[in-house]
Amino acid sequence: MRGEPRRAGRSRESDDDQAAAPASGGGGEGRGAAGNLAETMAQVARAMREEHGDVEATLQVMATTAVRAVPGAEDCSISYVTGRERVEPRASTGDLPARVDDLQTRVRQGPCLDSVWEQETVRIDDMRREARWPRFAAGAVELGALSALCFQLFVEGDNLGALNLYARRPDAFDEESEDVGLVLAAHAAVALAGARGEEDLRRALGSRDTIGQAKGILMERHRLTAQQAFEVLARASQQSNRKLVDVAEELTQTGAVPGPD
C-alpha cells in the first residue's frame, strides 16, 4: 500500500467511539493479528500454491484465512457481484455470510451493491444504527449479523469481487481490522487473478484440443483439409446458434455434426 491506508466508508451514526476488537480473528488464539500477519500470509501462500489454478479452492482458502487473521471476524464470504444487482456467494465459512449476501440481492441494497464499488473498504459498526441501507441492515439484524467489514477485490466493468467479514456482536471491527484486512485482500486479489487466469488458460487449451479432435474426425471421415474441416464446424456453429467448441464436443462424443435446432 502507498501512504496511509484508506479508511473504510462508514455511516454518520458510526462516528462514535468504538469498542476495541478482539486481538485475533475467530481463532481466539489471543495473539496480536498484526504481529502474526507475515506468518498468516506465508500460510496463505502455501495453501494457495496447493490449490494451483483452482479458483473455487482459492476462494475458500481466502475466506477461511480471513476469519483467522482479521480481528473481530467470525464469518466470511467471497462474493461476485454481477451487473451491479446480483450478489453471488462463491465461498463461505458458514451459513450466515451466504444468507447476508443473498439478502443484498433480495432487498436490492447493501455495501456490495453500493459503496464497495467506489471504496476499497466499507465498514458497518452496528447494523441497528446503520442508515445507508435500512432494509439491508434490518434484515441482517434478523439474521444475526450486527457488524460487517467489506473489501473490494476487483472491479471489471459491471462485475465486482468482494471479501465480506461479519460478526454477531456490534463494534466488532476497528482500524486494526481494516489494516489487516486490506493487506489480506490485496494478497487475495493477486492470488485470485492468477488462479482465474490459469483456469481461463486451461479452458482455452481444452477448447483448442476439443476443436482439434473434431477437425481430425471430419478430415479422416470426409477426406477434408484442416481448413475445410474447420469451416464445417464453423458453419454448424452458426446454423445451430451454438458455440463452436460445444459443436466440436458433441461431434467428438456422438460422431455426428449437430444441425440446426
pLDDT for the residue 241 = 80
Task: Give pLDDT, residue 52.
Answer: 54
* pLDDT means over runs of 10, the chain (261 residues): 51 44 43 55 58 70 89 92 82 93 92 82 95 96 96 83 94 93 81 55 60 82 82 80 79 74 54
The verdict on residue 141 lying in a domain is yes
What's the domain range around 205? 200-254
pLDDT of amino acid 25: 53
In a domain, 215, yes or no: yes
CATH of the domain at 228: 1.10.10.10
Domain boundary among 189, 220, 241: 189
Do 163 and 214 share a domain, yes or no? no
Number of domains composing the chain: 2
Q: Determine, yes or no, domain membership for 2.
A: no
- pTM surpassing 0.75? no
Q: Which of 189, 219, 246 is the last residue of a domain?
A: 189
Residues 17 and 60 in one domain: yes
Verify that 80 and 156 share a domain, yes or no: yes
The per-residue pLDDT for range 93-108, each reduced to its tens digit, is 999 999 999 999 999 9
Q: What pLDDT does residue 159 have? A: 79
Which CATH number goes with the domain that contains 62? 3.30.450.40
Structural domain contains residue 144: yes
- pLDDT tens for each residue of 178-202: 988 888 888 777 766 655 554 444 5
Cβ(62)–Cβ(191) below 8 Å: yes
In a domain, 5, yes or no: no
